[in-house]
């Protein structure tokens, strides 16, 4: 039994929103501080590169036998999800600074303003072009990876692609409307949730691909996701308590 269309759409949409917000911050910094035309040209070039990659990988993934695909996709999602979840746990426990789009925007803005001016060919400002291009391609590759892996595994790449496109459009429209980083988006919380989702699906699909049979089929996800979430929250509590104890000892030693 495949996961429902609504669950597939929501999982891909939430994950892609996070990546789209980060790409938007980079493009805004390039356009605001340098040259909008060059920045937008970089965005278009980046989207074109991503389109070629997706066009090549999509059919290739659908040709892989389902069991083998689930093993590979499950392993990749587990690696990817654990990276997100690790950072989210460290941020939630206070051991790593929270992700701050305003601060990132200011840093990118300062770097862009300090860079030397100059164009190449039809591009008036090469720095704006390359900054936007790299931002779109790097963040876009993660969007493409999420959409393709979820879509291919559920044999519904069009729906996953629609969810990814919807996420990008929502973030883009919001960014154009406010012309500022979307700092009010609860990105740290979303990354925590997405990390839990990717890790849970990675465990579930990887085990299926290895030949395991889950009790209740896909209904087992209703147990896997809460278990992963509770484990992550327990780690946050332990790390936060450990950090508080170290801070208390340091304070007492210094007084």
pLDDT tens digit string along 98-133?
A: 766 667 667 776 776 676 667 776 788 888 899 899
231: pLDDT strictly greater than 90: yes
Q: What is the dihedral of CA 111, 135, 183, 176, to 10 degrees?
A: 100
Q: Counting beta carbons within 10 angstroms of the beta carbon of residue 150, is it exposed (0 to 12), middle (13 to 18) or buried (19 or more)?
A: buried
Q: What is the pLDDT of residue 36?
A: 84
Q: How many helices (H) and strands (E) does the chain have?
A: 8, 0
pLDDT at 145 over 70: yes
pLDDT digits (tens, 9 = 90+) for 146-199: 888 888 777 788 888 899 889 889 888 887 777 666 656 667 787 888 889 889
**Cα pseudo-dihedral 132, 52, 10, 226, rounded to 10:** -90
Q: Give bridge partners of residue 123 from the DSSP assignment.
A: 120
Please tell me the least confidently modeled range out of 53-57, 60-64, 77-81, 219-223. 60-64
| Domain total in the chain | 1
User: In the prediction, which pLDDT does 43 show?
Assistant: 92
| Helix 66-92, helix 187-209: angle, nearest 10 | 150
Domain interval for residue 104: 5-254
Close Cβ partners of 217 (under 8 Å, ≥ 6 residues apart): 1
């Amino acid at each position: 039994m495949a996961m429902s269309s609504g669950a597939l759409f929501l999982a891909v949409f939430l994950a892609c929103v996070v990546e789209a917000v980060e790409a938007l911050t980079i493009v805004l910094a390039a356009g605001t501080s340098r040259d909008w035309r060059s920045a937008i040209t970089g965005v278009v070039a980046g989207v074109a590169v991503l389109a070629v990659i997706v066009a090549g990988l999509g059919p290739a993934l659908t040709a892989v036998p389902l069991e083998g695909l689930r093993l590979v996709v499950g392993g990749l999602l587990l690696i990817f999800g654990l990276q997100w979840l690790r950072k989210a746990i460290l941020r939630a426990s206070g051991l790593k600074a929270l992700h701050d789009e305003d601060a990132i925007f200011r840093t990118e803005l300062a770097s862009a303003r300090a860079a030397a001016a100059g164009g190449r060919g039809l591009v008036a400002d090469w720095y704006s072009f390359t900054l936007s291009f790299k931002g779109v391609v790097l963040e876009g590759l993660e969007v493409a990876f999420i959409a393709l892996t979820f879509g291919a595994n559920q044999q519904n790449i069009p729906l996953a692609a629609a969810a990814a496109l919807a996420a990008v459009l929502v973030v883009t429209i919001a960014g154009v409307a406010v012309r500022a980083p979307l700092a009010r988006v609860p990105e740290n919380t979303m990354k925590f949730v997405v990390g839990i989702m990717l890790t849970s699906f990675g465990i579930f699909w990887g085990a299926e691909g290895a030949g395991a049979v889950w009790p209740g089929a896909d209904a087992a996800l209703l147990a896997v996701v809460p278990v992963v979430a509770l484990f992550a929250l327990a780690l946050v509590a332990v790390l936060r308590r450990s950090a508080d104890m170290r801070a208390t000892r340091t304070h007492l030693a210094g007084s």
